[in-house]
Amino acid sequence: MRRHKDTHGDPALPEAPASQTPAGAPTASPLQVRPGPTEVLPIGGTFTIFQQTAQTQPGTSFDAETQAATNGPIVFYSGNLFASFSTDGGASFTFVDPYTQFDPLDGGFCCDQTVIYDPTRDLMIWQLQYFWSPSTNKGSYRIAFANPASVASAGWCTYEFNPGSFGLDPGRSLDRPSVALSNNFVWYSANIYTEPDPKWEQTVMWRIPLDVAANCPSLAFDFFLDTQNFHFTPVAGAVETMYWASIGTGPVPGQIRIYQWAEADSMPSSTVRFVSPSWPNFPRRCPGPDGLNWCDRADKRSAAGWISNGVIGFMWSASQGFAGDLGPFRYPYVHVARFNASTLARIDEPIIWNASGAWIYPAVAVNERGDIAGTLYFGGGGYFPIMTALILDDLSPAPAPWEIYGFVGSDAGADRWGDYYSSRRNGSNGNTWVISGQQVTGGQVNAWYVWMGRDRDAPPTEMTSSGVQGTSPTSASSDYLRFWWEDVLRQRPPARSP
């Protein structure tokens, strides 16, 4: 359902939760509040927001599913149920109507969209999902390619993908897209459902050659179908090989199947590994002060992944409950598993949890230096949802791997949130990131665009903003809530071997 909204002032962010571990909760180290980054990190280490803009676009849903990509001056942004572009680096945005942008297809524009930018070919890539139609007997994706300079004039080259593209009979639809890049391909995944009564049948991963897509001829692509494993999320940071995982599949608790598909190969291979047995996978519950369970739609598909510096990592949303050797969890948390890229041996499981609220909906990307950063949400209990920023690089303090900053809080919850967000490398400043997210305030939804990174990687000239709720660069150490709890950032690998 489409909802309209107005602009409201931002609520004050809540104070950081105290380090309190209820009876029966996992044991954690005592609270150790570390000094701010500017006091202990080398010069150039301050986490900084270079640009932040809240959009008030028509049709933004409470499950906003925002995505953003940029080549620097031009940003393209998508969400439920709108799209937009900026020609001033994200300071202001112009609405794009995904219902009318292209010719009609199947049952009309539905919902899910993704956006990503390929800097090597200066190519903006936009994907839209369409409803299954009883007349066409299919539900499709449309994938559009454009030079960023032509985005404002709608200069897109488009292609249609539907279950028939992968050799399947009519009576099926595509759903829940994921997108990533390697050196020479853009990669997509989708869950395939039989229609008209939707039932999952199989999952598809396919890749489109970027050189071909950039020239808009007849499209070439390769695909892989899997009837056993549900939902694939390709990793960020892939170069010559793409990786993805199917989380919690198979008869053995804790199983994770890791796939790898080299650009030079015609098909992928896969390997089974194991993480903490019996990590909880119940319906997620994290009601906030208003009693609304904004985690309700989350499941193990709420996933992110990366490859960098010889490490492959996966993040997914686990529920509250008992997690084997890791003990019980009062709230949903982000389960993390890292593997050696050469051997696929498990390295560790630096999960992200808190006894006072839920962590959920992670998204990460890899910069040119090989560092990772992204976004995820905290809330529940005494806290409304808070959009946060995550970073892991050479300046992140030990021992916990994750450095997390509160970005913007909501003044209410919702019974719908998610289902996914994005983190992307900035196309013109490759050691910084752009993230997307949402905030509920005054009963409406703000869709956020954020350009962030370390101040050592700041642009040569200061960014100023004249756009909607935009600001000039800001140091997170002074103006944003910092989550520095030892029990928030927990690193305890299970006792079992990889």
pLDDT, tens digit (0-9, with 9 covering 90-100), for 30-52: 222 222 222 223 345 689 999 99
- Higher pLDDT residue, 55 or 218? 55
Residue 248 located in a structural domain = yes
Provide mean pLDDT across the span 83-100.
97
Beta bridge partners of 207: 187, 222
Structure tokens at 326: 């890791």
Give me the count of residues in the chain.
498
Provide the pairing of β-strand 423-425 with 172-181.
unpaired
Q: Which of 12-16, 61-65, 205-209, 300-304 has the lowest mean pLDDT?
A: 12-16
Q: Is the pLDDT of residue 475 over 80?
A: no
pLDDT of 495 reads 30
* H or E element at residue 292: none
Identify whether 243 is part of a domain. Answer: yes
User: Does the pLDDT of residue 413 top 70, yes or no?
Assistant: yes
- The SS3 of residue 478 is helix
User: Quick check: is 497 in a domain?
Assistant: no
- Convert the pLDDT of each residue in 337-346 to its tens digit: 999 999 999 9
**Number of C-alpha atoms within 13 angstroms, CB side, residue 156?**
21
pLDDT of residue 303: 87
Decide if 295 is inside a domain: yes
- Cβ distance 387 to 359 under 8 Å? no
Looking at per-residue confidence, does 215 or 205 come out higher?
205
Contacts of 471 (CB under 8 A, 6+ apart): 49, 51, 52, 465
Q: Are 53 and 463 in contact (CB under 8 A)?
A: no
pLDDT tens readout for residues 96-133: 999 999 999 999 999 999 999 999 999 999 999 999 99
**Residue 84, in any domain of the structure:** yes
Tokens of 162: 């539907």
Nearest to 163 by CA among 181, 137, 186: 137
Residue 370, domain CATH: 2.130.10
Q: Would you tell me how many other CB atoms lie within 10 Å of the CB of residue 480?
A: 18
Determine the pLDDT at residue 400: 67
- Position 44 scores a pLDDT of 54
Burial level of 103, CB count in 10 A (0-12/13-18/19+)? Answer: exposed
User: Rounded to 5 degrees, what angle do the CA atoms 96, 100, 103 make?
Assistant: 130
How far apart CA 68 and CA 90 sit, in angstroms, is 10
User: What pLDDT is attached to residue 168?
Assistant: 98
Domain of 196, in residue numbers: 39-483
**pLDDT for residue 52:** 95
Query: Per-residue pLDDT averaged across 480-494, rounded?
Result: 36
The total number of structural domains that make up the chain: 1
Question: Which has more pLDDT, 16 or 448?
Answer: 448
> Can you give the pLDDT at residue 461?
62
Interval 241-256: pLDDT, tens: 999 999 876 667 789 9
CB within 8 A of 120, min separation 6: which ones?
183, 210
Return the pLDDT at 251.
Answer: 67
Please tell me the predicted confidence (pLDDT) of residue 155: 93
Task: Tell me the mean pLDDT in the region 350-369.
Answer: 95
Cα of 197 vs its chain's centroid, Å? 29
* Residue 94 falls inside a structural domain: yes
- Average pLDDT over all residues of the chain: 84
Task: Give the per-residue pLDDT at 5.
Answer: 27
In whole angstroms, give the CA distance from residue 159 to residue 210.
13
Please tell me the distance from the alpha carbon of residue 397 to that of residue 48, in angstroms, as a whole number.
16
Range with lowest mean pLDDT among 10-24, 76-90, 113-127, 145-159: 10-24
Residue 179 burial by Cβ neighbours in a 10 Å radius (0-12, 13-18, 19+): buried
Q: Per the domain annotation, does 28 fall within a domain?
A: no
Helix (H, G, I), strand (E, B) or coil at 99: coil
- Residue 139 backbone phi and psi in degrees, to 5: -130, 125
The answer to whether residue 82 scores a pLDDT higher than 90 is yes
pLDDT tier at 19, thresholds 50, 70, 90: very low
pLDDT of residue 268: 98
Please tell me whether the peptide bond between 81 and the residue prior to it is cis, using omega within 30 degrees of 0: yes
Mean pLDDT of 210-226: 87
The structure tokens 């390295």 sit at 347
pTM of the model as a whole: 0.86
Mean pLDDT for the stretch of residues 131-145: 98
Per the DSSP assignment, residues forming a β-bridge with 390 are: 374, 404
Give me the mean pLDDT over the 139-156 stretch: 95
Contacting residues for 240 by C-beta, under 8 A, at least 6 apart: 182, 183, 262, 263, 264
pLDDT category at 389 given cuts 50, 70, 90 is very high
Average pLDDT over residues 409-420: 95
Residue closest to 239 by CA, chosen among 205, 213, 262: 262
Q: What is the pLDDT of residue 249?
A: 66
For residue 302, name the pLDDT band (cuts at 50, 70, 90). confident
97/59 Cα distance (integer angstroms) = 10
Helix, strand and coil percent figures for the chain, each rounded to 5? 5, 40, 55
Percentage with pLDDT > 90 across the chain: 73
Q: Is residue 87 part of a domain?
A: yes
DSSP string, 264-311: T-SS-EEEEEE-STT---SPP----TT---TTTT--TT-EEEEEETTE
Q: Is the pLDDT of residue 458 over 80?
A: yes
